[in-house]
Structure 1
Amino acid sequence: MTVTPLYELVSFRLKTGAVLDYLPVSALSYTETLNAAGSMSATVPLDAPGVTPDSLAPGGTGLMVLRGGVPIWGGILWTLAADLAAGTITLNASGFHTHYAGKHFVNGETKDNVDQGAALREWFARSNAPGSNGIGTDTSQVKNTGRKVSRSWTRYECMSVAAAIEDLADDAGGFHFRYVPYWAAEGTKVGNRFLITGVSESVSRHTLEHRINCNVTGVSYDSSVLTTNVYTFGADDNSGSKPTVSASNPDLSALIPAKDVVLTFSDVKDIDTLAKKAAAAISIGRAPIAIPTLTLYPGMFSPADFMPGDVTTVRVDAGYVRLFNQFVVTERRVDVASTGVETIGLALANRELFENGNTG
């Protein structure tokens, strides 16, 4: 007999992490999305203890989901919707990354040949320094990667910290990132931690086979990224000239007519970074992207078995759809019904799409 895990919802002060209340949940869904904020929605009784304007303040209250007592999702309460007729209130939250979408380099920012990990740690340290009004994100597990980056954004661009992180992640030789909640002090204080992994570091831990341990609900194919030749342009050097890098894919050119792609990166000023962008575009454009979506069979897996960025093997043999390939988990969605029944859904994309990073 499958034991249904107990889900709990914890509210806390976003600026301090201090726990406010444990909220009773009648329905819950949460997603974790690769290199993005993710989201959570929960329905709680309108008159439950802890459901007050002071303790549930949009933008100032954090929410953490516990599964069997273990933190599994965390983020920021942004909107609420009260249903007085039903006597419920729906809480809508997004991941901690949304905080950094609201933090900007108002004086500009320059990094010259700095390790990826060092750049990330410095940005978070500055965003959470005393007086910065931050959320105390922990970066103790972000190590140097050995990959150097150079970036320059003027104060007029007013680049956000979140967008800067995404820009580094999208490089050829970039990384996957995520935020995880944890108990900074068991039961009384919540923390949030930033983690990165190399795009080629994940190994396939599971094989998902249609109608054996999952139900593949659909597969879409996207050829818009196919690229026989790519031309990348950087920022204007104030003299009317822009750095330019091109790359080609002769193998694909032998199969299809020419399909040029032109990309402009207004924040890239050096050739090396531009060359990485071109390499990423060629890698991504080698073949159409296959995007399977599937639901795991109940009781066979835990949500923690599939994190965004993980690699999994998918096998399908159903008419046109014949897959036996490795895919990267791009999103994990968990829906918990009022009965406590848990449904886990995954969205995936070709592993090759991430081997050299995205084009941004």
Structure 2
Amino acid sequence: MAEQVGLMAARYSVVQTDLATGAVVTELPVTGIGYTDTLNAAGTATVGVPLAAPEADPATLIVGSSGLAVLRNDSPMWGGILWGASADLAAGTLTLSASGFHSYYSHRFLDAKNGYTTTSSDQALILKEWFAYANANGGIGTDTATVTTTGHLRSRKWSFYEFKNMAEAIDEMADDLNGFNFRYEAYWLAGVGRRVGNRFRLARRNSASFPQLEHRVNCNVTAVDYDGTQLATQAYAFGADLGTGAKPYASSGNPALTGPRRVAVATYADIKTTASLITKAAAIANVGSQPIAVPTLTLYPDRFTPSQFTPGAVGTVIADSGYVALFEEFVITERGVEVDANGTETVSLALASKDVFNANPG
């Protein structure tokens, strides 16, 4: 994807929506916007609104029940749920705090009377079942039309009494060996009236790319953190207590890792079979196969659009400054966008080494 130079300044706006239907209630006057898209997580948004603005109507702008969508040149860039609001009467400001659509599924459960059971089903079809269940029982209409089979089979079993949290179930399956990246996409729904829909997007790991970035050429690498705390020569994943004090478990290792022995352990209290733990142990070991470099950078203004940098995308970052010597591929773990009162757009990225993600190929 070619670098773009001299892009026109974007116009940002924020609309309030009805969470159940996506219908636009009003456009909010804003004093500042900040939003993040996080790999395999909900992401957040913060919006400043004048406290006395008539559009900020307490009868309709309700925390926990209203939706927000951030528009860039009238195209939805971020969508989610208003979970908090902070009114500063002295300053005359109202700060709205929202999280992406995935946060909704932290409040939904696989609570059918017979629970949920599937054996050797494609992970994509399992996801479609879960969303269909939520949509049919008072949900937010998450669309899964673009989700296609992956060829990776999973088995899952939860009773009604386990009340399995849907967001947690999705997160766990994404983190499995041969898992996937996911995000929720806000988009304009077709039909009468302006309505913002939400679509679940599933992608094979490392299937998207972003333009090459070089420190002091088209970006500013502000920091690089190096993390060795997750290094593991051996990894163990334990399951649920079977009632006898024994637990199923699986183990995986990194025999090529140098240095003293280091062990990583995780427990998955709702997994009851060794077979389901094998991919968990392998994923833990793969993350612990090498130190993780975590650069943070800010894009030079007017060179790119935020949509060129989707969380989960892979690209090369170059930086040479003392201890920091980077010329390698990284995965975007978070994209943040800040828009000030003048409409100036600042895009920042947090990244992690591609090799860690490659160890868990999709």
TM range (shorter): over 0.9
Give the Cα separation in 2 of the matches to 1:89 and 1:198. 40
Q: CA deviation at 1:353?
A: 2.2
Q: CA deviation at 1:230?
A: 1.7
Say whether residues 1:114 and 2:121 are aligned partners. yes
Give the Cα separation in 1 of the matches to 2:10 and 2:109. 40
Q: Secondary structure at the match of 1:205?
A: coil
Give the Cα separation in 1 of the matches to 2:116 and 2:244. 22
Q: CA deviation at 1:168?
A: 0.6
Give the Cα separation in 1 of the matches to 2:153 and 2:279. 12
Report what 2:254 is aligned to.
249
Say whether residues 1:180 and 2:185 are aligned partners. yes
Is this contact kept in 2: 1:227–1:285, CA < 8 A? yes
Give the Cα separation in 1 of the matches to 2:298 and 2:244. 54
Deviations 1:16-35 (A, max 9, x none): 11111111211110001111
Give the Cα separation in 2 of the matches to 1:272 and 1:174. 15
Report what 2:286 is aligned to.
283
Deviations 1:194-215 (A, max 9, x none): 111011423x331111111111
Of 299, 313, 317 in structure 1, the residue corresponding to residue 316 of structure 2 is: 313
Give the Cα separation in 1 of the matches to 2:146 and 2:97. 29
Of 320, 324, 338 in structure 2, the residue corresponding to residue 335 of structure 1 is: 338
Report what 2:3 is aligned to.
none
Matched ranges for 1:34-53 at <5 A: 34-53=39-58
Q: CA deviation at 1:357?
A: 4.2
Give the Cα separation in 2 of the matches to 1:88 and 1:241. 56
Q: Secondary structure at the match of 2:162?
A: coil
User: Which segment drifts farther, 240-249 or 29-38?
Assistant: 240-249
CA RMSD of aligned residues (A): 1.7
Q: Which amino acid aligns with 2:293?
A: A
Report what 2:105 is aligned to.
100
The percent identity for this pair of structures is 50
Is this contact kept in 1: 2:206–2:314, CA < 8 A? no
Report what 1:123 is aligned to.
130
Report what 1:236 is aligned to.
241
Report what 1:194 is aligned to.
200
Deviations 1:176-196 (A, max 9, x none): 111111111376211111111
Q: Secondary structure at the match of 1:185?
A: coil
Matched ranges for 1:1-360 at <5 A: 3-106=8-111, 107=113, 108-129=115-136, 132-185=137-190, 188-202=194-208, 204-252=209-257, 255-357=258-360
Give the Cα separation in 2 of the matches to 1:157 and 1:353. 32
- TM-score, structure 2 normalization: 0.93
Number of residue pairs aligned between Structure 1 and Structure 2: 353
Q: CA deviation at 1:144?
A: 1.2
In structure 2, runs of 5+ residues without a counterpart are: 1-5
Deviations 1:154-178 (A, max 9, x none): 3343221111110110101001111
Is this contact kept in 1: 2:7–2:304, CA < 8 A? no
Q: Secondary structure at the match of 2:164?
A: coil
Q: Which amino acid aligns with 1:175?
A: F
Q: Which amino acid aligns with 1:40?
A: A
In structure 1, runs of 5+ residues without a counterpart are: none
Is this contact kept in 2: 1:175–1:357, CA < 8 A? no
Give the Cα separation in 1 of the matches to 2:39 and 2:309. 12
Q: CA deviation at 1:2?
A: 5.1
Q: Which amino acid aligns with 1:274?
A: L
Is this contact kept in 2: 1:64–1:73, CA < 8 A? yes
Is this contact kept in 2: 1:279–1:356, CA < 8 A? no
Give the Cα separation in 2 of the matches to 1:139 and 1:173. 20
Give the Cα separation in 2 of the matches to 1:210 and 1:305. 18
Deviations 1:85-120 (A, max 9, x none): 333211111111111100112343222211111100
Give the Cα separation in 2 of the matches to 1:2 and 1:281. 42
Q: Secondary structure at the match of 2:284?
A: helix
Q: CA deviation at 1:244?
A: 2.5
Give the Cα separation in 2 of the matches to 1:353 and 1:156. 36
Is this contact kept in 2: 1:20–1:50, CA < 8 A? no
Q: Secondary structure at the match of 1:101?
A: helix
Q: In the superposition, relative to structure 1, how do residues 84 and 232 fare at CA in structure 2: closer, same or farther (>3 Å)?
A: closer
Give the Cα separation in 1 of the matches to 2:129 and 2:78. 25
Q: Which amino acid aligns with 2:307?
A: A
Is this contact kept in 1: 2:7–2:303, CA < 8 A? no
Q: Secondary structure at the match of 1:242?
A: coil
Q: Which amino acid aligns with 2:211?
A: H
Give the Cα separation in 1 of the matches to 2:66 and 2:273. 41
